Amino acid sequence: MSPDHLHDAALDTRLIHSDRHMNPTSSVAPPIYQTATFRAESVKDFTHRAAEPRHPEYYTRFGNPSLGQVEAVLADLEGAEAALVTASGMAAVSSAVISMVNAGDHVLAQTNHYGGTANLLQKLLPRFGVEVTQIDQRDTAGFERGLRKNTKLILLESPSNPVLALTDLRAVATLAKARNITTLVDNTFATPINQRPLELGCDLVFHSATKYFGGHSDLIAGAVMGSRDAIMQVWDAHVIVGAVLGPFDAWLMLRGLRTLALRVRQQNQNAMALAEFLSHHPGVNSIHYPGLKTHPQHELARKQMSGFGGMLSFDVKGGFEAADRFLRRLRLASHAASLGGVETLAVHAAANFAHYMSSEEAERIGIAPGLVRISVGIEGQQDLISDFEQALG
């Protein structure tokens, strides 16, 4: 956590200074410990380092000062006791899940998850004797109906990818705690700037740090945050599968985190402006953005989020071909996968999710043939609106 004198400082300040005490040099930018291994002074010293979990100077798969520095900032950011960085967002969720369940256990999850998470639930866990039930995240009572005696984990994602549906995190966390079930939340879309699941009672939070934490589309990384005991449990699995993040990538994430609050606030504002424009455009059938009063879960968004995020999706009138035409006509926004960078990215959701699910499965969770997902960047608002206006024709 932050040094004592920063305890009451603004989040913007802590993102820049909370790890300053961990830099042993006079360099303003922290050093990169780009090494696989570390020298020991003696056999006793070597044995001590090898025996201590997450020692920062034994072997980088176990720990590294560059990784430890960004983990300290991440723990402070989510209000957690500890954090663990991983090689990707999928490494984060996979390490967390396999550390929490065994053969014969049951996982309760949502019908609408990021495609990689859905593959983990539907294709990998059943091979190892773990049962999975997926329910509509908007049906809070459905979580209770889906519980079994062997339920060990509830996996959540809010807002969800790509239809921006919400889960009542506090209600589900309360349900889980009463039964000693662990809750694990994908907070990638919201970021801790807009939503803090641990404060709502959830146990563990994970992120694809590739997205908003890096913020510049030049990093692949993941992160898990929670109690020290829970993170140690995840770390044990992470060390075995070797899902370690490299020191330079940890440094890139740390650099990106310095401006996270600034970027997300601008993305919140840009997304709201763009969503309002699209909600009145005759070429748009429907729009999904929790900040709009027309979103069916807007009141829940206001209750559990402090900002509505930089992600939105909308259904282009005319279906698949019209969405393809819109994407080809964009000038500022790039037609590319991923999200959370300084630049606006657009992707045809039906095409993007085709390698994860059938068209019938996609439509069941709200992915219409003309659905386009937008990751709103930090460009000028009017420039973005003008680009979308000309692309929609």
Residue 322 C-alpha from the chain's centroid: 30
Is 203 an active-site residue?
Answer: no
- Whether residue 63 contacts residue 56, with contact meaning beta carbons closer than 8 Å, is answered with yes
> At residue 338, what is the residue type?
S
Is 114 an active-site residue?
Answer: yes
Is 149 an active-site residue?
Answer: no
Of the residues 61, 138, 170, 265, only one is catalytic, namely: 61
Of the residues 14, 49, 196, 211, only one is catalytic, namely: 211
Is 61 an active-site residue?
Answer: yes
Of the residues 105, 186, 315, 324, only one is catalytic, namely: 186
Of the residues 33, 58, 114, 289, only one is catalytic, namely: 114
Catalytic residues: 61, 114, 186, 211
